[in-house]
Amino acid sequence: MINDTDCFVERFELAPSGSGTLDGFSFTVKDNIHVKGRRTSYGNRSWRESHPPATYNALCVDQLLSAGATCVGKVVSDEFTYSLAGENSFYGTPLNPKAAGRIPGGSSSGSASSVADGQADFSVGTDSGGSVRVPASFCGIWGMRPSLHRISEAGVLPFMPSVSTVGLLAADFAVLRKSMRVVLRSGTRLTVKPRRLVLLEDAFALADADIRDAAERRLATIAERAGLRPEWIRLASIAGDGTFDLRKCNEQALGVMQTIEFQNTVGDWIESGAPELGAGLTAFYPAVRAFDRHRHLDGIALCERLFESIGDFMADGTIVCFPTTPTVAPLKGALSDAGTASSFYEKTLAVTSFAGVGRLPEISAPLLTVDGCPVGVSFAAGHYRDEFLLDAVDGLLSGK
């Protein structure tokens, strides 16, 4: 066990296996991703004790080492990556260096903390429902969730096969872009200039007033400099259903798949043994267990329809923007109140579900400070347009 302000599960130095664009950069690896010879705990003590050390690096870790980066350790993950808080009963709560007394966000909590605290240049995390984007927003750093399945998940512990992605977090945009290019590894896609900057109305409506206003002002400046006129859109218009919104997107589509896929992977393991569970999962798991699996038919159908609708909307050159999280990081311990937790998750998961069902790449940029705390602004592009998104965000924010 480590003390509750350290983001590391294990410190070590794994030298690069090659040389390239990441020479001289250091990175940490979330504790659900295999590093050869190390135990992967998945954020849970019983899992750690019942699984042998990994015999291979995850493919993404090998890619980064090959490009010249040095791995400096494994960092805390929320238990089974099933949380957005970053409060782990076994490993403690990694420090949020940018917002004293507040949670770092999760589940890539140690990833965000290690980068925000200067312990590494970038970190490898995973994101199923916001687990890269939320801690990036709360810790004032960059985070990118790529298009679904753009990065190999080989050597990454299975969580939600239809939802989960490998993503990266970095303090500096140039480092995010360099490291993402290594794991995306195509670099051949046609780059077009952003032609439309669209503000997702539902996400702004869910955000606290200060965040909403700050994000709108900042995006207006960005758009003006780029010679674009921001457009507003509601998810209802994209989906062609006047009553549909982001909350429903999470509750009826993505959240259904997440819950059932969690049952099939981690739930299966939990129920076939009697592992020790942390406080969060002890509270959550009965609801997972009781979830009506027959909802999957409607859930999958809705996910597919939304994927198509959003895909049609996200034509070449379209960037959709919104506050990454509707709030700043909650105070440590605040989410132990069930009502507070419920409200936090409903709103936050609603916002993160847009890129989730769209299978879109989304970058959270550390652009805002509200009440002294960081909050991210997100930029999303069409499915598989990851390179375009990286170039577009560079152009929009640097004024190139």
Examine residue 154 and tell whether it contacts a second copy (CB under 8 A): yes
Examine residue 234 and tell whether it contacts a second copy (CB under 8 A): no
Examine residue 23 and tell whether it contacts a second copy (CB under 8 A): no
Binding residue for a second copy, selected from 2, 4, 18, 340, defined by CB under 8 A? 18
Examine residue 297 and tell whether it contacts a second copy (CB under 8 A): yes
Total interface residues for a second copy by CB under 8 A? 51
Smallest gap from residue 147 Cβ to a second copy (A): 11
Which of the stretches 8-16, 60-68, 242-250, 330-338 binds a second copy when contact is defined by CB under 8 A? 60-68
Give, as ranges, the residues between 82 and 111 that touch a second copy (CB under 8 A): none
Amino acid identity of residue 75, one-letter, is: V
Give, as ranges, the residues between 170 and 209 that touch a second copy (CB under 8 A): 184-189
Examine residue 71 and tell whether it contacts a second copy (CB under 8 A): no
Binding residue for a second copy, selected from 23, 231, 271, 337, defined by CB under 8 A? 271
Q: In the complex with a second copy, which residue's Cβ is closer, 66 or 237?
A: 66
Which of the stretches 8-16, 106-114, 246-254, 292-300 binds a second copy when contact is defined by CB under 8 A? 292-300
Binding residue for a second copy, selected from 26, 28, 41, 63, defined by CB under 8 A? 63
Examine residue 53 and tell whether it contacts a second copy (CB under 8 A): yes
Interface positions with a second copy (CB under 8 A): 17-18, 34, 52-56, 58-59, 62-63, 66-67, 148-149, 152-156, 158, 160-162, 184-189, 257, 260-261, 263-265, 267-268, 271-273, 293-294, 296-297, 300-301, 304-305, 308
